């Protein structure tokens, strides 16, 4: 199966996963794989990747504005203040994924993230491999589900008490936040992000 597609109206060759969806393509072109720093920004990604577990990313992307509204734009200090009553109210919010365990984990993770020495962003970036370490030839390219680094990050976050931070979820986080450049070798974004 090809990891890329050139069937886009603008003629650019991209990874095949956006499948021509305008929102997905915009995310691919402007955000996915771009190095991300900042505690609240990273918290949003950790939370959304947790909500994505068992679902497709486009499902989360289409509800992202709802998540931002529901979770105070992912400001950790504000999310950490949410009560059980707030969590119950979120279970009625059709703008998000209404999963009690994921909602509770997001609130708990915000509290835990605020206690991480050096902050959440620095904590997760310590697991990033050297830039370019996942550069493969076109013939050898494949998307993976985990990496040794995502397994290590998952273990460290779980040890700190975080939920919904499994190795596959953390690998997706690492791809999305630029710790890996997993754009297919033919994709125009791969070279732009080297």
What are the DSSP calls for 55-89, one per residue? S-HHHHHHTHHHHHHHTGGG-HHHHTT--HHHHHH
**In-domain check, residue 161:** yes
Alpha carbons 16 and 76: distance in angstroms, whole number: 34
Q: Tokens 């990033």 map to which residue?
A: 128
* Residue 164 counted as domain residue: yes
Q: Note whether residue 189 is domain-resident.
A: no
Is the pLDDT assigned to residue 46 strictly greater than 60? yes
The SS3 call for residue 4 is strand
Do the domain assignments include residue 98?
yes
Is residue 102 within 8 A of residue 63, CB to CB? The reply is no
pLDDT digits (tens, 9 = 90+) for 27-40: 999 999 999 999 99
pLDDT value at residue 143:
74
- The answer to whether 118 and 90 have CB atoms below 8 angstroms apart is no
Q: Any alpha helices (H) in the chain, and if so which ranges? A: 22-30, 39-52, 57-62, 64-70, 76-79, 84-90, 100-114, 120-125, 148-159, 167-176, 188-192
What does the pLDDT read at residue 140? 57
Tokens of 173: 């986080």
In a domain, 9, yes or no: no
- Mean residue pLDDT of the chain comes to 93
Residues of the chain with pLDDT > 70, as a percent, come to 93
Containing structural domain, residue 116: 37-182
26 domain residue, yes or no: no
Q: Do the domain assignments include residue 147? A: yes
Is residue 188 in some structural domain?
no
What is the arithmetic mean of pLDDT over 162-173?
98
Quote the pLDDT of residue 136: 46
Determine the average pLDDT of the residues in 89-109: 98
Return the active site residues: 27, 49, 57
Mean pLDDT along residues 145-153: 96
Residue 70's domain is classified under what CATH number? 1.10.340.30
Q: What integer is the mean pLDDT of 79-96?
A: 98
Question: Quick one: average pLDDT of 75-89?
Answer: 98
* pLDDT score at 137: 46
Number of domains forming the structure of the chain: 1
pLDDT at 56: 95
Is the pTM for the entire model greater than 0.85?
yes
The answer, yes or no, to whether residue 50 has pLDDT greater than 80, is yes
């Amino acid at each position: 199966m090809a990891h890329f597609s050139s069937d886009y109206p603008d003629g650019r060759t991209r990874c095949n996963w956006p499948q021509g969806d305008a929102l997905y393509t915009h995310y691919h072109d402007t955000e996915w794989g771009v190095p991300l720093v900042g505690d609240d920004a990273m918290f949003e990604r950790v939370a959304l990747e947790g909500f994505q577990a068992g679902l497709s990313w486009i499902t989360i992307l289409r509800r992202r504005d709802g998540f931002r509204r529901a979770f105070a734009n992912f400001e950790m200090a504000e999310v950490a203040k949410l009560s059980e009553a707030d969590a119950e109210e979120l279970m009625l919010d059709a703008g998000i994924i209404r999963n009690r365990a994921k909602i509770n984990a997001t609130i708990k993770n915000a509290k835990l993230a605020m206690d991480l020495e050096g902050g959440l962003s620095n904590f997760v970036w310590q697991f990033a491999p050297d830039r370019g370490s996942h550069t493969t030839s076109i013939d050898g390219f494949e998307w993976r589900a985990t990496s040794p680094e995502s397994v290590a990050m998952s273990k460290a976050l779980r040890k700190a008490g975080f939920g919904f931070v499994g190795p596959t979820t953390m690998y997706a986080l690492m791809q999305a936040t630029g710790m890996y450049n997993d754009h297919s070798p033919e994709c125009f974004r791969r070279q732009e992000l080297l």
